[in-house]
Amino acid sequence: SAVEQAKRLAAVQAVSEHFSTNFKYVGIGSGSTVKYVVEAIAASLAKAFPAASTRPSDTRSTSATSAYDIQFVPTGYQSRQSILDCGLTPLLFDHLPNDVILDVAFDGADEVDDDLNCIKGGGACLFQEKLVIEKAKKFVCVADYRKAQSRLLTVWPSIPIEVAPIASHIVLMALENLGSVKPAVRAGVPAKSGPLRTDQAFYIIDAPFPTLLLRSDIQGPDDGNGKNGRWEVSRLSEAIKNITGVLEVGIFSGYDGYETEKLGLGKGGQKP
């Protein structure tokens, strides 16, 4: 399909521009687009080091061990599985040496705005995704054209928030006080009655809000703080994070001092 082709194109371009076979630690996010990133990385390693086997345990004996000196840090169960499925070596986040910074972290997004702020959490892995991204020198967001919108919550309807189950009711009320309409705990799958559980066994609350403003939209010192439903991206993120019981918010703000760069592919992969 055109969407799968666009995901694959974005992944191949992201890897060719931001992956090096000399890297030591690479963060791998969750979702279907990042699977193409892992496949492109595995292909790049196989091309650069044809002698190295594809099974990490065999590679210590090959000359090109640098191919598999690279360790891939997953952001949850599915992310770890996609690393293993491509014959690469996972290293769990809590096994990382404290002083290590990842060379790069690749991850998807549910929506990305003009300033490269992201909504993440459609796959309910946002907490470990944010841990890994903040441990990396660079966060490369890989997303097809459907995700690119001028402002957040244009197409994606709500902000995913990871909460402690015991606190879910008070977080729902606090979100309504911030202006969310009908925030709800994300249901699980039919095979398991009750709410979805994250890899931390927490709940996800999806909180609808009006379209979020960019910094450049703000019309004065007290604009963008929720008055008249006008929230600026990083101010809403901070307000939600401050609610007792919230573990993490699915807003990844490019305003947090990161330099941002858009590779930009138009529909179906043509340059815009």
Provide the mask over 28-67, with x wherever binding to ligand DER is found by CB under 6 A and - wherever it is not: -xxxxx----------------------------------
For position 110 contacting ligand DER by CB under 6 A, the verdict is yes
Total chain residues near ligand DER (CB under 6 A)? 16
Among residues 39, 111, 129, 232, which one is catalytic? 129
Which of 131, 123, 101 has the alpha carbon at shortest distance from 204? Answer: 123
Interface with ligand DER (CB under 6 A), residue from 76, 90, 123, 226 = 123
Interface with ligand DER (CB under 6 A), residue from 27, 76, 121, 254 = 121
Interface with ligand DER (CB under 6 A), residue from 90, 122, 224, 226 = 122
Where do runs of H (alpha helix) occur along 55-161?
Answer: 66-69, 77-85, 126-134
For residue 251, what is the enclosing H or E element? strand 251-252
- The question of whether 129 is a catalytic residue gets the answer yes
- The label of the residue with tokens 């091309």 reads 47
Helix axes 2-18, 32-48, angle to 10 degrees: 50
For position 76 contacting ligand DER by CB under 6 A, the verdict is no
Rounded CA separation 258/143 (Å): 18
Where do runs of H (alpha helix) occur along 96-163?
Answer: 126-134
Question: Considering the complex, what minimum distance in angstroms separates the CB of residue 241 from ligand DER?
Answer: 17
For position 80 contacting ligand DER by CB under 6 A, the verdict is no
- Angle at the Cα of 247 from the Cα atoms of 192 and 136, rounded to 5 degrees: 110
Binding site for ligand DER (CB under 6 A): 29-33, 107-110, 120-123, 125-126, 129
The residues assigned a catalytic role are 129
